[in-house]
Amino acid sequence: MAILAAFAVPHPPVILAEVGQGQEKQIQKTIDAYRSVMHKIAVLSPDTVVITSPHSILYADYFHISPGAEATGSLRRFGAPEVKIKADYDQIFVNKLSETALAAGIPAGTQGERDKALDHGTIIPLYYLNEVYANYRLVRVGLSGLSPLEHYCLGKCISSTAAALGRRTVVIASGDLSHKLKADGPYGLAPEGLQFDEQVTKALSKGDFLSLLSIEPKLAEAAGECGLGSLRIMAGALDKKAVDGKLLSYEGPFGVGYAVAAFIVRGEDEGRCFDKQFELAEQQKLEKQKAAEDAYVRLARLSLETYIKTGKRAELPVNLPPQMLFARAGVFVSLKKYGQLRGCIGTIAPTTSSVAKEIMRNAVCAAVEDPRFNPVNACELSELSYSVDVLGEAEKINSPSQLDVKRYGVIVQAGGRRGLLLPNLEGIDSIEQQIAIAKQKAGIAANEPVQLFRFEVVRHK
Q: What is the CATH number of the domain that holds 449?
A: 3.30.1490.150
Q: Are residues 263 and 376 in the same domain?
A: no
Contacts of 95 (CB under 8 A, 6+ apart): none
In a domain? residue 288: no
pLDDT per residue over 189-206, tens digit each? 999 999 999 999 999 999
Beta-bridge partner residues of 89 = 138
DSSP secondary structure, 98-121, as one string: HHHHHHTT--EES------SPPHH
Query: Which residues constitute the domain of residue 310?
Result: 293-388
What are the phi and psi torsion angles at 276 (to 5°)?
A: -65, -40
Low-confidence ranges of the chain (pLDDT < 50): none
| Cα-based torsion angle of the residue sequence 101, 103, 105, 107 in order, rounded to the nearest 10 degrees | 40
209 and 314 share one domain: no
Q: Are 97 and 218 part of one and the same domain?
A: yes
Q: If DSSP codes are grouped into helix, strand and coil, which group holds residue 124?
A: helix
pLDDT value at residue 425: 87
pTM of the predicted structure, to 2 decimals: 0.85
Q: What is the pLDDT of residue 288?
A: 92
| Residue 68 is assigned to a structural domain of this protein | yes
pLDDT of residue 1: 60
> Are 449 and 369 members of one domain?
no
Q: What is the pLDDT of residue 429?
A: 84
Q: Dmax of the chain from CA atoms?
A: 74
**Four-residue CA torsion sign, 158, 160, 164, 166:** positive
Give the phi and the psi of residue 107 in degrees, each rounded to 5: -75, 95
* Alpha-carbon gap, residue 227 to 27, rounded angstroms: 18
Cα 73 from Cα 87, distance rounded (Å): 9
Which of 362, 388, 414 marks a domain boundary? Answer: 388
**Average confidence score pLDDT of the chain:** 95
Same domain, 431 and 338: no
Backbone phi, psi, residue 459, to 5°? -100, 130
CB 230 within 8 A of CB 174: yes
Contacts 24+ apart (CB under 8 A), 412-418: 412/438, 412/439, 412/442, 412/444, 412/450, 412/451, 412/452, 412/453, 413/442, 413/450, 413/451, 413/452, 413/453, 414/442, 414/444, 414/448, 414/449, 414/450, 414/451, 417/442, 417/443, 417/444, 418/348, 418/442
Q: Are residues 379 and 397 in the same domain?
A: no
User: Of 388, 408, 426, which one is at a domain's C-terminal end?
Assistant: 388
Predicted local distance difference test score (pLDDT) of residue 318: 87
Q: Both 90 and 162 in a single domain?
A: yes
Could you give the number of structural domains in the chain?
Answer: 3
Does any domain span residue 174? yes
> Do both 254 and 361 map to the same domain?
no
Q: Could you tell me if 426 and 380 are in contact, meaning their C-beta atoms sit under 8 angstroms apart? A: no
143 and 211 part of one domain: yes
Residues 383 and 399 in one domain: no
Shared domain for 91 and 156, answered yes or no, is: yes
CB 231 within 8 A of CB 212: yes
Q: Domain for residue 285, yes or no?
A: no
